[in-house]
Amino acid sequence: MGDAIVLDSHPGHSNTCNRPLKVGIVGGGIAGLYTALYLQQKGHHVHIFEGTDRIGGRVHTHYFTPDRDQYYEAGAMRIPKTDFQDIFFDLVKYINKPLLPEKRINLIKYVLSTDKNLVFVNGSLRPETTASNTTPAMIGWPDIDEKHKDMTAGALLKEALGRLMKKIAPPADFEPAFKKKIVDKWDNFTFRYYCIKKCRWTNSLVDFVETMTSQTNQFNLSVPELVMQSLDFGVKEWQTIDGGMSRLPELMAQRVGLENVTFGARVTGAVFDRVVLAIPPAALRMIVDRPRWSVKKEVAIRALHFEPLYKMGLRFKTRFWEHVDPPSFGGQSTTDLPIRWIVYPSNGIPVEDEAHGQEHDQSGVLLVYSWMTDATNWLPLTPLERRNVALNCLAQVYNGKKDRQGNNINVYNLLIESADHVWSSSTATGDAMFLPGQFKEHFEVAREHEGRIYFAGEHLSFHHTWIAGAALSALKVVEDIIGVKDLRPLSDDTPTHVGFGDQPIDLSFKFQPYNPMYSGTQSPSSPFSEYMPVDVSRDWPPKGCKHLPDNNNRGDGDEKGDNIEKNDGVEQDKASKKEAKAPPQVTLQTKLPNYLGMLDKSALGVVCSKNTSYYAVGSWDMGRVGFR
């Protein structure tokens, strides 16, 4: 994230603050954004440092085209309607309150599963059942006793979790009850061990239930981890954000004030009253010159377990999965093939299709989704190899299926394009999923602040993998910083605010390549030596920069965030900007070598000025970067 955090972690300070604080937040995901919003609402000054060129962290929507519904969720994609997720729904209300109706976040129904979704296991399609309603006898699963062979996977899992779930308290009293009745008693054991010893299952039966209801080796996580996951996945009503989940962090950043967010710059010096590290442990660990804390804290940073996640979006010429018999209108199909889950979009479902059988020729996007060991298996492959494997698996699942005109489904011919996201290849690493003993041994010490340095993220709440978990951890950080307990989450009854400019902060930046292969290449013989570093903490614009004419518009950004513009807390899209005066921009007229044009835009970093009248909206591309 940065070359240095200019801040000691001296423990001898009071948490209660009687003056506005300057708070530096490392990480522009939900935890960092929520912390910033709440502290601003309380009158404090914040600045977010995001190491990538986009906002949102593991909330990331990939848009294939600007057309409606042509996207897939590379990160968070669905929210269950439970009391434990109230902080998410309250946050949406808070963000929506000052916005014009057409700019507000619109929550739509998310279809988790339907009885038309497919099951393809052991080399054949099982059209007579869904994953949770499949029995061992139906698919010839070996080594299953008479008692269990005709029980469904869903019923077996419910039976195993039932006695544990009865011990869970309502949300208001959840944490102490969960610690006492679940963590203290069962945290040292895997869920597989629990099923074998407590439920008297065989290993083969455990494998069957895991295959049909979960991902490979997920039952090797701790008992509390599986209990927490079942709390949310046991509900029937789910929602998602129309137009993509990325709309939430984008609007949060807009409310914070984009002048208070730095993207992609390597920070060489900054001084704050408090620092919040809203980043995963893997990213924190790789800040080599950070302070060192207690042995227990350092062990927790190294040990907290994250599992890999893998998602691929495939855009097809038609939504063929809605045209076959039986059609899948949302939900997900399950298979033991490498793709494991085929997730059908809940956005863009044509209601008249289901009612009247009308044909729709619009393109659509399927999602291939894997966790844990199933996700790890994708990592060694190239993007093209991964796409070929996914298409091969889809071709097997849809072999012999016909559309409404009687034509065979050919996924190879129908494919337009694909994109994927390997979370293990980024500092996010995946989602927190604790191994036995980690709630009991590492959880509390990991989320305890170290003097003026605080820690946030979904791994520091009981609600791993959820936006709610990130927000809850942020709320605890705010409580610790301002010295007030039991703060209410942000909601529509919270006084709204618009992000205000920070007090002048001495920030020094330098242009730095994202790709480590280009790091340290500023020697006299380097092709970068003429252009790097550029210190924008001095005169701005830097020597050699000039304003672009208005008709150049925004610059060469490559993220959805490029479409956001701050205007009194209200989002303006591209259409509304046509009538607005184009913002001033600068371009760096440096003689970057031609071969840089062959690099992906994300290969090189972006930089922001300390001057609040400028902020980065784009990435390096052929030596050009846009500013406002």
From 125, 109, 139, 126, select the one nearest 207 (Cα to Cα). 139
> Is 286 marked as binding a ligand?
no
Q: Are 314 and 390 in contact (CB under 8 A)?
A: yes
Cβ neighbours of residue 526 closer than 8 Å, sequence gap 6 or more: none
354 with 294, same domain: the answer is: no
477 with 624, same domain: the answer is: no
Q: Domain containing 352: what range?
A: 309-425
Q: Are 231 and 221 in contact (CB under 8 A)?
A: no
CATH number for the domain including 356?
3.90.660.10
Residue that is last in its domain, among 233, 259, 286: 233
Residue that is last in its domain, among 485, 506, 527: 506
CATH number for the domain including 183?
1.10.405.10
473 with 525, same domain: the answer is: no
Given this model, what pLDDT does residue 350 score? Answer: 80
Residue 255, in any domain of the structure: yes
Q: Are 297 and 445 in contact (CB under 8 A)?
A: yes
Given this model, what pLDDT does residue 589 score? Answer: 29
329 with 420, same domain: the answer is: yes
Residue at token pair 């506005």 = 20
401 with 383, same domain: the answer is: yes
Q: Are 471 and 489 in contact (CB under 8 A)?
A: yes
Given this model, what pLDDT does residue 567 score? Answer: 35
Distance (Å, whole) CA 211 – CA 260 = 46
Residue type, 501: G
Residue 290, in any domain of the structure: yes
Given this model, what pLDDT does residue 229 score? Answer: 86
From 505, 467, 451, select the one nearest 294 (Cα to Cα). 451
Instruction: Give the number of other CB atoms < 10 A from CB of residue 181.
Output: 16
Residue type, 201: W
Distance (Å, whole) CA 608 – CA 510 = 9
Q: Which two tokens stand for residue 475?
A: 């709320």
Residue 110, in any domain of the structure: no
Residue 81, in any domain of the structure: no
CATH number for the domain including 42?
3.50.50.60
Residue 111, in any domain of the structure: no
Residue 90, in any domain of the structure: no
> Is 397 marked as binding a ligand?
no
Residue that is last in its domain, among 425, 450, 467: 425
> Is 275 marked as binding a ligand?
no
From 264, 286, 222, select the one nearest 428 (Cα to Cα). 286
Instruction: Quote the radius of gyration of the chain (alpha carbons, Å).
Output: 25
Distance (Å, whole) CA 457 – CA 32 = 8
3-state secondary structure of 125: strand
Give me the count of residues in the chain. 628
Q: What is the DSSP string of 390-406?
A: HHHHHHHHTTT-B-TTS
Distance (Å, whole) CA 459 – CA 447 = 9
353 with 406, same domain: the answer is: yes
Q: What tens digit of pLDDT does each residue of 178-205 get?
A: 898 899 999 999 999 999 999 999 999 9
> Is 73 marked as binding a ligand?
no
315 with 349, same domain: the answer is: yes
> Is 565 marked as binding a ligand?
no
- Within the chain, which residues score under 50 in pLDDT? 1-14, 353-359, 502, 510-628
413 with 275, same domain: the answer is: no
- pTM for the whole structure: 0.78
Virtual torsion, Cα 328, 369, 210, 436, nearest 10 deg: -150
Residue 126, in any domain of the structure: yes
- Interior angle at CA 554, CA 604 and CA 609, nearest 5: 60
Residue 450, in any domain of the structure: yes
Structurally, how many domains does the chain consist of?
A: 4
Burial class (CB in 10 A: 0-12, 13-18, 19+), 353: middle
Backbone φ/ψ region at 520: left (φ over 0), alpha (ψ -120 to 50), beta: left
> Is 75 marked as binding a ligand?
yes
315 with 408, same domain: the answer is: yes
Cα 368 to its chain centre, rounded Å, is 16
420 with 436, same domain: the answer is: no
Q: Are 256 and 36 in contact (CB under 8 A)?
A: yes
249 with 226, same domain: the answer is: no
Given this model, what pLDDT does residue 545 score? Answer: 36
222 with 206, same domain: the answer is: yes
